[in-house]
Each structure stands twice: as structure tokens, then as C-alpha cells.
């Protein structure tokens, strides 16, 4: 772990807020055009969650570890064992299993536990990082 520079909770949290705002704005505008009003309720449905999880799974593979919020803050997702490029398996395990299925199965408790792990562990890895074999690195 000597060469690794893990990103802490604060910067990861800010990056997640930024990419949520960006990713939800475009569909929000489309929703407004179609329905004539804006409501945050549309983000609670399965369709939004599916596309959001798909974005979080595929984009880091195409952008070599980045999603829009992480690129802005110059942090990226890397494989923990060798710092190499992510694979589809890493990202499916991290996002679909670690950030979707486990969160549903634990009624959201895993999100809190992951936050505490990122805050207090030296390697700054949450449950989803362990499941996916990843960590978030500062550049």
C-alpha cells in the first residue's frame, strides 16, 4: 500500500454529489419537457436506478477509472491488487453487487458502514471496494 494514494471520504462524497447532479439534470430537463413540471420523484423509480447503475458501471471502464465527478476532483477508481485498468467484472461487482444489491439487502445500512470504513481505514476502502477489488486514488 506504500505507492497507493487513497482518496478520503470528503472528496469522494463531493464527487458523488457532482455526478448525481449532472446525471440527473439531463433526464430532469427531458422529464420537464414531457410533463410540463419538474419533480425529483422520477429519480426514485427503477428506470433511473438502472441507468444510473449502468453509468457507474460502464463509464469507469471507458474513461479508465473516471466518472464525471471523479474526473473533476482528479480522483479515479483503480484495481486494488495491481493499480491496473478496471475490468467489467471489477465494476459489476463494485456497482451492481456492492452498491446496489448489498445496499438493498441491508436496507441501506451498508452505505453507512462503507462511509465509516472510508473515513477510518488507512486504505479508505468501503464495502463496495472490497467486493469489486477496487479503491479510489488521488492523482
pLDDT tens-digit map of 11-34: 999 999 999 888 888 878 888 898
The predicted structure's pLDDT at residue 37: 81
For 126, left (φ over 0), alpha (ψ -120 to 50), or beta? Answer: beta
Q: Mean pLDDT score of the chain, rounded to an integer?
A: 92
CB burial of residue 90 (10 Å; 0-12, 13-18, 19+): buried
Would residue 1 count as lying in a domain? Answer: no
The predicted structure's pLDDT at residue 2: 56
Would residue 104 count as lying in a domain? Answer: yes
CB burial of residue 56 (10 Å; 0-12, 13-18, 19+): buried
User: What number is the average pLDDT over the span 93-114?
Assistant: 97
The predicted structure's pLDDT at residue 136: 97
- Please give the model's pTM, rounded to 2 decimal places: 0.88
The predicted structure's pLDDT at residue 100: 94
Would residue 106 count as lying in a domain? Answer: yes
The predicted structure's pLDDT at residue 90: 98
* pLDDT at residue 39 greater than cutoff 80: no
Would residue 4 count as lying in a domain? Answer: no
b/e per residue 11-38 (b: at least 16 CB within 10 A): bbeebeebbeeebbeeebeebeeeeeee
Find where cell 453487487 sits. Answer: 97
Would residue 134 count as lying in a domain? Answer: yes
Top mean pLDDT of 10-24, 30-44, 104-118 is at 104-118
**Domain limits at 96?**
9-138
Cell numbers linked to 138: 488521488
Would residue 16 count as lying in a domain? Answer: yes
Would residue 2 count as lying in a domain? Answer: no
Number of domains in the chain: 1
Would residue 95 count as lying in a domain? Answer: yes
* pLDDT at residue 101 greater than cutoff 90: yes
Amino acid at each position: 500500500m506504500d505507492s497507493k494514494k487513497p482518496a478520503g471520504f470528503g472528496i469522494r462524497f463531493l464527487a458523488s454529489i457532482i455526478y448525481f447532479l449532472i446525471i440527473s439534470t439531463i433526464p430532469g430537463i427531458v422529464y420537464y419537457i414531457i410533463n410540463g413540471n419538474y419533480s425529483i420523484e422520477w429519480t426514485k423509480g427503477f428506470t433511473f436506478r438502472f441507468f444510473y447503475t449502468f453509468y457507474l458501471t460502464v463509464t469507469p471502464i471507458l474513461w479508465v477509472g473516471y466518472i464525471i465527478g471523479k474526473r473533476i476532483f482528479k480522483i479515479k477508481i483503480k484495481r486494488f491488487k495491481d493499480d491496473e485498468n478496471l475490468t467489467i467484472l471489477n465494476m459489476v461487482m463494485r456497482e451492481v453487487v456492492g452498491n446496489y444489491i448489498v445496499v438493498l439487502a441491508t436496507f441501506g445500512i451498508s452505505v453507512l458502514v462503507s462511509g465509516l470504513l472510508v473515513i477510518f481505514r488507512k486504505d479508505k476502502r468501503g464495502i463496495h471496494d472490497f467486493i469489486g477489488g477496487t479503491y479510489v486514488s488521488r492523482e
